[in-house]
Amino acid sequence: MFAIRRSFSLLCRGSAASTWRNKSQSAAKRLDIRGIYPPIATPFTQSEDVDYQRLDDNLKKYGNLPFRGLVVQGSNGEYPYLTPEERVEVVKRVKQALPKDKLLMAGSGCESTRATIQMSQQMADAGADCLLVVTPCFYRGRMDSRALINHYAKVADSSSVPVVLYSVPANTGLDLPVDAIIQLSQHPNIVGLKDSGGDITRIALIVQKTRSQGFQILAGSAGFLVAAYAVGEIEFLIIFTLSSIFQSINPLIFVHPAIQYLLIFCLFIVLND
């Protein structure tokens, strides 16, 4: 994954980017991911197996709330602790329970490009509407813009559903470089970015540089939610990560974050009116 291959050198000379720009003229037809997406937790049993019954119980509650969809196998889904089979099975269970009008954004990122492509296809087959692909980070010292562009381009080329870039430096120790994001925004199968870093200046720059591509930005934390919304105007999209909602395994605890979400949802309606 880290070697600079001939296909990547061609990309750097601009031929691939030019092709992406030509294809991205149809950006208006890209998947619309505007809305609120709670990143759901993966419940576990005492023996550390996935608790599918608790998952089903939680999904019944999520399905009744006015969200655009759910993020499954994001950081809060604790995907590093799941087997590949469990990761796919969780996505399959969520798809079966989720109302048809809601989107399922599934985290398919792995450390190698090959593994990410395989996981992405399995999650698409399991029902994911789009894929959230985190930056590979074990060899973060080698993860420069060229390596990351090569990685994401190959994943997006191979994916049968749209891809969302995922930058979460608190967990990976790696910020997806702005120049890489700008170039990748031209890829017709990369529809947006979830940025959990919280640097508002950086987010504003990305919004400004990618606006013409129809590229969609999602804020990954409630801590910078209002500021991110302000710099992105109406085109900026929001993902909430109110931590208390992840305790929804307990029905008594679930009520509190639900009210918070509904209040924020109403606020956005007012802001967009």
The crossing angle, in degrees rounded to 10, of helices 84-97 and 113-126 is 30
Among residues 187, 160, 137, which one has the least CA distance to residue 1?
A: 137
77-91, 151-165, 233-247, 254-268: least confident range: 233-247
Q: Which long-range contacts (CB under 8 A, 24 or more apart) does 136-139 make?
A: 136/1, 136/109, 136/110, 136/111, 136/112, 137/111, 137/172, 137/173, 137/174, 138/111, 139/2
Half-sphere exposure of 130 (CA within 13 A, CB side): 25
Q: Which residues are part of the catalytic machinery?
A: 194
Reading phi first (left if > 0) and then psi (alpha if -120 to 50, else beta), residue 34 is in beta
Domains in the chain: ranges and CATH: 6-272 (3.20.20.70)
pLDDT of residue 17: 56
Q: What backbone phi and psi angles, to 5 degrees, belong to 238?
A: -130, 135
Tell whether the model's pLDDT for residue 234 goes beyond 60: no
In the predicted structure, residue 257 carries a pLDDT above the cut 60: no
pLDDT digit string, tens, across residues 2-35:
232 323 333 444 555 545 544 544 444 689 998 8
What was the pLDDT predicted at 202? 86
Share the mean pLDDT of the chain. 79
pLDDT tens track for 143-180: 999 999 999 999 999 999 999 999 999 999 999 999 99
Q: What share of the chain is helix, strand, coil (3-state, %, to 5)?
A: 55, 10, 35
37-60 pLDDT, tens digit per residue, is 888 999 999 999 999 999 999 999
Residue 130 has pLDDT above 70, yes or no: yes
Q: What is the pTM of this model?
A: 0.78
